[in-house]
Amino acid sequence: MRIAVIGAGASGIAAGVNLRKGGYEDFVVFEKAAELGGTWRDNTYPGVACDVPSHLYRFSFAPKADWSMEYAPGSEIHDYLRKVAEDFGILQHIRFNTELTRVEFVDGMWHLASNRGDEGVFNVVISAMGVLHKEVYPSIAGRESFAGISFHSSKWRHDVSLEGKRVGIIGAGSTSVQILPSIVDKVEQVALFMRTPQWVFPVDNNPIPAEKKALFASDPSKLQSLYDYLGDRLNRRLASALVGLNEEGLREISDACARNLEDNVQDPELRKKLTPDYAVGCKRLVVSSAFYPAIQKPNADLIMDSIEAIVPEGIRTADGVLHPLDIIIYATGFDPFNFHRPVKVIGRSGADLDDVWSEAAYALRSISVPGFPNMFFIGGPNSPIGNFSFLLTAETQIRYIMGLVAAIDEGDGSRLVEPKSEATEAFNHEIELAMKDTVWVTGGCTSWYFDKHGKVASWPWTYERFENELSEPRLTEYVLS
């Protein structure tokens, strides 16, 4: 049985490890870049770090006792992923600089083509392309007219010095909150262009003491206990709060964010600007203790007026003010509904996945789509997204996929496993009903969780339910042929 994995980011590496553990060696991980690592390869901006604690943001099968910080910097996570790929023999399976262009189901097999040409046929395709990899730029008049230097945060220009420059940051999410404190002391002036303020949860990112690293290295059970504790606090208790099943937990988070703003922003006008008018958790929670002090520095400006146009000299806002700039940084995020794109995926009877998902992306238990047999998604539609460890989510989904791979293997690798339309429809109808009670819908905001039709693409139940429902496939929900 031949298996194709698309993407050598964290989930692609984890898929490879699980395939090898399951005894499958005939697999290829297709990676468009020259290096593995996905989002942690691409995002190298100043201050980039995980907003999930280091000791939770790791694979269950690859503990790491010596994280340098409580919230690991991006480069350290990238090094960790590279080491895991080396230690578990995944590098030999990765085909670098190979971007798939077409994945087509013909005569019971998946036929793959890339920028290099024909890549052969495979029994199974696992998409591990990640959720946040297709950068988004805002639709602002005159964007191409800027005479200075501009770039997206995920394509950071390390050849460009910020020293003494006038810098504009567009965006108000975690990325801009990490960038601004990291550059404010280097630049002449920094202006943060923010449409909507964020709730900011106060967390100090402290170095992990050498004695604690030594303790974890000498006693793996303590490292495991911390992993389990953090998983319970973040992926389980926080998830329950967001879906309306832990009001006390959500209130505690809300109070902490409000106190953080009240205690650390002295100017009442600035505090008012930074106060959101929606519930905590409605947008992805921003985690930082450095942002509020940084935005109050003399050379930092918070611009809440909408951007009217970008002109050669800088940014002009709706109040008529021109903000002269040397550099513009687009911290404007990613398209979470990109999924398989730009790969053209053609399923049974010529069905184009772009057409199937033209109204909304859907899948059975976030993993598989009717009409596309033996194709499985890690991080597919309605996967848990937010302030969770995606590695934990990915591992849960991979275990489920391995159960489907085993079912295919029972037919000498030629069996086809495809979700039933009625099971998929019932599951997604249940999601739609449950979503109404979540903070994403009731909290009074819009966010990147919403698709173009206003539907929230996350998991509307507890994380325990996610783990239970994906503990093993219910083969009665599938057609096996």
pLDDT digits (tens, 9 = 90+) for 99-137: 999 999 999 999 999 999 999 999 999 999 987 778 889
Is the per-residue pLDDT at 140 higher than 80?
yes
Is the per-residue pLDDT at 281 higher than 90?
no
408-436: pLDDT as tens digits: 998 776 799 999 999 999 999 999 999 98
What's the pLDDT band for 237 if we cut at 50, 70, 90?
Answer: confident
* pLDDT for position 156: 97
Is the per-residue pLDDT at 454 higher than 70?
yes
Q: Name 320's Cβ contacts closer than 8 Å, sequence gap at least 6.
A: none
Is the per-residue pLDDT at 473 higher than 80?
yes
Is the per-residue pLDDT at 387 higher than 70?
no
The packing angle between helices 10-21 and 390-409, to 10°, is 40
* pLDDT for position 128: 96
Domains 3-134+335-480 and 135-195+308-333 share a fold: yes
Amino acid at site 62: A
Between the two ends of the chain, the Cα-to-Cα distance in Å is 16
Question: Residue 407's CB: how many other CB atoms inside 10 A?
Answer: 15
Q: In the numeric block, which tokens belong to residue 270?
A: 């600035």
What are the sequence ranges of the domains in the chain?
3-134+335-480, 135-195+308-333
What's the pLDDT band for 470 if we cut at 50, 70, 90?
Answer: very high
- CATH fold, domain 3-134+335-480, is FAD/NAD(P)-binding domain (3.50.50)
* pLDDT for position 130: 82
66-105: pLDDT as tens digits: 999 999 999 999 999 999 999 999 999 999 999 999 999 9
Q: What is the mean pLDDT of the chain?
A: 94
Specify the pTM: 0.94
- CATH fold, domain 135-195+308-333, is FAD/NAD(P)-binding domain (3.50.50)
Is the per-residue pLDDT at 178 higher than 80?
yes
Please give the order of strands across the beta sheet that includes 3-6: 94-95, 27-30, 3-6, 124-127, 375-377
* pLDDT for position 350: 96
Burial 345-383 (b: 16+ CB within 10 A, else e): bbbeeebebeebbeeebbbbbbbbbbbbbbbbbbbbbbb
More confident residue, 414 or 147: 147
* pLDDT for position 462: 87
Question: Among 83, 102, 86, which Cα is nearest to 94's?
Answer: 86
Find the mean pLDDT for residues 444-463: 84
Is the per-residue pLDDT at 15 higher than 80?
yes
Is the per-residue pLDDT at 340 higher than 90?
no
